[in-house]
Amino acid sequence: MPNGRVLTVCGVGLATLAAMTCSASPKTDGGAAGSGVSGSGGAAGVGGSGNADAGADVETSTCDYLFQTYPTGATFPESDGCNTCRCDYQGSGTGLVTCSEMNCWAGTGQLPCTFGIDQTCNEDAQQPVPIGFCRLNGTCDCGNYNATSPFTGRCLRSYDDTPGAHCEYAGANYDVGTDFQCVGSCDVCHCDAPGRISRRAVACDPATGVLPCRLDGTYVYGTLGGSATTAEVSVLGGENFWYSHVSTRLSDGATNDCNPSYTPACGATNAIDQGDIMFDLMDPTVAAALGVRPGPVLFGVDTRPAGTPLTFLHRSDGGELLVGAPCAGSSGCTEISDGVTHLLADLAALDKQELAMLGCSPWPEPGTFVCDNLLCKSGSEYCAKRQANGVHIFAVCRPYPDGCTTCACVTADASSLQGTQSCPDTYFCTDAGGPVSTINCDTG
One-letter amino acid at 258 equals C
Question: Model confidence at 297, in pLDDT bands (50, 70, 90)?
Answer: very high
Say how far apart CA 190 and CA 201 lie, in whole Å: 11
pLDDT for the residue numbered 415: 44
* ∠ CA 327-332-335, rounded to 5°: 40
Diameter of the chain by CA atoms?
Answer: 81
In angstroms, how far is CA 298 from the centroid of its own chain?
28
Rg (CA), the chain: 29
Residue 374 reports pLDDT greater than 90: no
pLDDT surpassing 50 at residue 38: no
**What average pLDDT does the segment 231-246 reach?**
86
Residues 6+ positions from 154 with CB-CB distance below 8 Å: 112, 113, 120, 121, 122, 123, 132, 140, 142, 148, 195
Name the DSSP class of 231.
E
- Least confident range from 129-133, 163-167, 241-245, 382-386: namely 382-386
**Lowest mean pLDDT segment, chosen from 52-61, 84-93, 287-296, 405-414:** 52-61
d(CA 192, CA 167): 8
Rounded CA separation 165/262 (Å): 31
CA gap 20, 43 in Å, rounded: 12
User: Is 288:296 a contact under the CB 8 Å cutoff?
Assistant: no
- The DSSP secondary structure of 297-320, one letter per residue, reads EEESB--TTSSSPEEEEEETTS-E
Eight-class DSSP state of 273: -
pLDDT at residue number 132: 93
pLDDT of 376 above 80: yes
Q: Please indicate whether residue 103 or residue 50 has the higher confidence score (pLDDT).
A: 103
Q: How far is CA 120 from the centre of its chain?
A: 17
pLDDT at 440 over 70: no
User: What separation in angstroms does the CA of 222 have from each of 219, 244, 258?
Assistant: 10, 12, 14
β-strands 172-174, 167-169: how paired? antiparallel
Give the strand order in the sheet containing 94-99.
75-77, 84-91, 94-99
Q: Is 172's pLDDT higher than 70?
A: yes
Distance CA 313, CA 219 (A): 7
Using DSSP bridges, classify how beta strands 381-388 and 391-399 pair: parallel, antiparallel or unpaired.
antiparallel
Q: What CA–CA distance (Å, rounded) separates 258 from 255?
A: 10
The string of pLDDT tens digits covering residues 58-98 is 667 889 888 889 999 999 988 787 888 999 988 777 888 98
- Please write the tens of the pLDDT for every residue from 110-152: 889 999 999 999 999 988 789 999 998 899 999 888 889 989 9
> pLDDT at residue 232 above 80?
yes
Question: 47 φ, ψ to 5°?
Answer: 90, -5
Mean pLDDT of all residues in 345-353: 94
- Average confidence (pLDDT) over 252-269: 83
Q: How confident is the model at residue 27 (pLDDT cuts 50, 70, 90)?
A: very low
Rounded CA-CA distance 137/332 in Å is: 49
Percent of the chain with pLDDT over 90: 38
Give CA 221 to chain center in angstroms: 18
Q: Worst-scoring range by mean pLDDT, 4-13, 318-327, 377-386?
A: 4-13
Mean pLDDT lowest among 14-23, 332-341, 404-413? 14-23
Is the pLDDT reported for residue 24 higher than 50?
no
Return d(Cα 176, Cα 169) in angstroms, integer.
12
Q: Element (H or E) spanning 341, and its range?
A: helix 338-355
Mean pLDDT confidence for 205-213: 90
Q: How far is Cα 238 from Cα 261, in angstroms, rounded to an integer?
A: 11
- Judged against a pLDDT cut of 80, whether residue 323 lies above it is answered with yes
